[in-house]
Amino acid sequence: MILGSRIRQWIVSRFIPPIRADKAADVGIFLYACHKSAVLGGRAASPLTDPLIAALAPRPFLHTTFGQLKLLEVVPSMQLPHRINWFEFMASCLCGSPADKVDRQFVDSLLTPLLCRPNRFLKLYKIRTFLVARYFALKFRDIAAACDSAYVVCYYSGAMLGVVRAFRELGKPVVDVQHGHLGPTHDAYNNAKAFSLGSLFQPTGFLVWSRSFGEYLEKTHGASWESTDYLHLRALAPAGRSTSQSPTILFTLQSLVPLPQAVVDAVHRFPQLFWSFRPHPAQEDKDLPIELELLRGLPNVQIADRAAPLGAALAASDLHITVDSSAVHEAAALDKPSFILDADYHVRFEEEIHKGLARFVPQSELCAALQRFLEFPETSRIVPGSAPTSSG
């Protein structure tokens, strides 16, 4: 619904109070780090965004994790209310604007079933996301006015779309910080049609891990980008290898992805290997695969702290194994080899496979691959790439 501008302004000022920006008085940059936070040296940190501070210091930052870990004790930090006030939300539904048509088209085009959970009611999910984004755009209006730019992670969530729009309505830049795989198989980053609409929901630029990701975005969206060259790893991951006397296997889990039986069998077959299972940062204990409970308590198994920096966990490992985690990219950046157990995700890691830092291993051949790893540990640090084959 599009009301007259004066009526709209009255409703917003009367019924939709902005998120307080008193701590943002002298802040130049708003930064949102979501669940990609960690505990490092006894303090909260963000492996993805801490390097921004080093690169842009001494400019002050306004940090928020929407009620999660506070980031960095050395810069301004605040927790923002992230729950929707339903009375305010209903009032925001009356506050349409001329930009709504294009922004609604952007959401309709962008949100595919792969980005919607649950996706049984896709149309309702898209409407909800659009309305939530418009609500948060109004809630963030004072912070957008106080800060001159914003960095967000997962720009395509409802709340973050609202942050993007709040800043862009004032003509201020918003940069999406890469948080995982970015390429043709990720629907938030492969939709040239959505990005051709000129929506206020789309970021003005991207901060990516490496040049190859940036060139992909430029080719697909015509988007501007800047590469950190995996600065988030180099800044927070200690150099060197594991101090364990046993070869260390880091297995990175993904939400809603079961632990393959082949991995359970391998843990039992190779007690001389030390297995560290790292949950996805967004994965709660109650959501861990039931198969993992069968391994908990074994002397050669640990459930890694999801709040520890991934770079540190990779640096302390000898081999990385996953079904489909984008940690393959980060492992390769630290010269750590990876076994990929799902052939469908082979295309995501062609660059790492070509460099000999990753290979697809059919689950039926995992034990054989680990045996070779044990027999030839030095030559197995960099594993030869392979094309996917049938797992039988």
The answer for residues whose C-beta is within 8 angstroms of residue 379's C-beta and 6 or more apart is none
More confidently predicted of 14 and 62: 14
User: pLDDT band at residue 73, thresholds of 50, 70 and 90?
Assistant: very low
Domain range for residue 362? 238-375
Does some domain include residue 129?
Answer: yes
In this structure, are 167 and 272 located in the same domain?
no
CA end-to-end distance (rounded Å), the chain? 56
Gap between the Cα atoms of 106 and 122, Å rounded:
15
Can you give the pLDDT at residue 16? 93
In this structure, are 228 and 245 located in the same domain?
no
Among 204, 234, 264, give the residue marking a domain's end: 234
The residues facing 249 across adjacent strands are 275, 319
Structure confidence by residue, pLDDT tens digits, 116-165 = 766 678 899 999 999 999 999 999 998 898 888 888 888 998 989 999 99
Does some domain include residue 389?
Answer: no
For residue 24, the Cα-to-chain-centroid distance in whole angstroms is 25
Helix, coil or strand: residue 94: coil
User: pLDDT band at residue 391, thresholds of 50, 70 and 90?
Assistant: very low
Domain of 331, CATH number, reads 3.40.50.2000
In this structure, are 214 and 270 located in the same domain?
no
Among 184, 200, 234, give the residue marking a domain's end: 234
In this structure, are 191 and 130 located in the same domain?
yes
Helix, coil or strand: residue 30: strand
**200 phi/psi in degrees, rounded to 5:** -75, -5
DSSP string covering 226-264, please?
EE-SSHHHHHHSPSS----SS-EEEEE--TT-PPPHHHH
Q: Which helix (H) or strand (E) holds 194?
A: helix 192-195
Does some domain include residue 133?
Answer: yes
Structure confidence by residue, pLDDT tens digits, 19-42 = 876 655 555 667 765 545 544 444
